[in-house]
Amino acid sequence: MRSLSLFQISEWVDGALIQGVPAGLVGRVETDSRRVGAGDLFVAIKGERLDAHKFLGDVAMAGAGAMLVSALPPDTERFGGGIIRVKDTLKALQSLAYHHRRTSRDLFVTGVTGSNGKTSTKDFLTAVLACGGSVNATSGNFNNHIGLPLTILAGNEGDRYGVWEMGMNHAGEIGVLADIACPDAAVITHIGTAHIEHLGSREAIAAEKASLAEAVPPGGFCAMPLHDDFYGFVRDRIRCEMVSVGIGQGDVRAEGLVSDREGRVRFELVSADTPPVTVSLPVRGEHMVMNALLAAAVGLRQGIDPVAIAESLRSVRLTHGRLEERVVGGIAFLDDSYNANPDSMHAALRTLRAAEIAGRRVAVLGFMGELGVHEQTEHLRLGERVAEQGIDVLVTVGERAACINERASGLAENRNFPTHEEAAAFLRELLAAGDLVLVKGSRSAAMERVIAAFA
Q: Is residue 104 exposed (0-12), middle (13-18) or buried (19+ Cβ within 10 Å)?
A: middle
Arithmetic mean of pLDDT, 283-305: 97
Amino acid residing at 326: R
Q: What is the pLDDT of residue 140?
A: 86
Interacting residues of 197 by C-beta distance below 8 A, sequence separation 6+: 369, 370, 371, 372, 373, 374, 375
Angle among Cα 167, 168, 169 to the nearest 5 degrees reads 145
Arithmetic mean of pLDDT, 121-148: 96
Q: What is the pLDDT of residue 303?
A: 97
Arithmetic mean of pLDDT, 279-301: 97
* Rounded-to-integer distance, Cα 294 and Cα 254, Å: 11
* Rounded-to-integer distance, Cα 136 and Cα 159, Å: 6
Amino acid residing at 283: V
Helix, strand, or coil here: 424? helix
pLDDT digits (tens, 9 = 90+) for 404-433: 999 999 999 999 999 999 999 999 999 999
Q: What is the pLDDT of residue 196?
A: 81
> If you average pLDDT over every residue of the chain, what do you get?
95
* Rounded-to-integer distance, Cα 283 and Cα 281, Å: 6
Phi-psi region of 256 (alpha: psi -120 to 50; beta: other; left: phi over 0): left
Dihedral sign for Cα 87, 88, 94, 96, please: positive
Question: Please, what are the domains in the chain?
Answer: 4-87 (3.40.1390.10), 104-314 (3.40.1190.10), 324-454 (3.90.190.20)
Amino acid residing at 452: A
Amino acid residing at 183: P
The answer on pLDDT for 194 being more than 90 is: no
Amino acid residing at 372: G
The answer on pLDDT for 2 being more than 80 is: no
* Residues paired with residue 247 on neighbouring β-strands, in sequence order: 254
Arithmetic mean of pLDDT, 271-297: 96
* Rounded-to-integer distance, Cα 252 and Cα 270, Å: 6
pLDDT digits (tens, 9 = 90+) for 196-244: 877 889 999 999 999 999 999 999 999 999 999 999 999 999 999 999 9
Decide: 257 and 284 in contact? Cβ < 8 Å. no
Local confidence band at 316 (pLDDT 50, 70, 90 cut-offs): very high
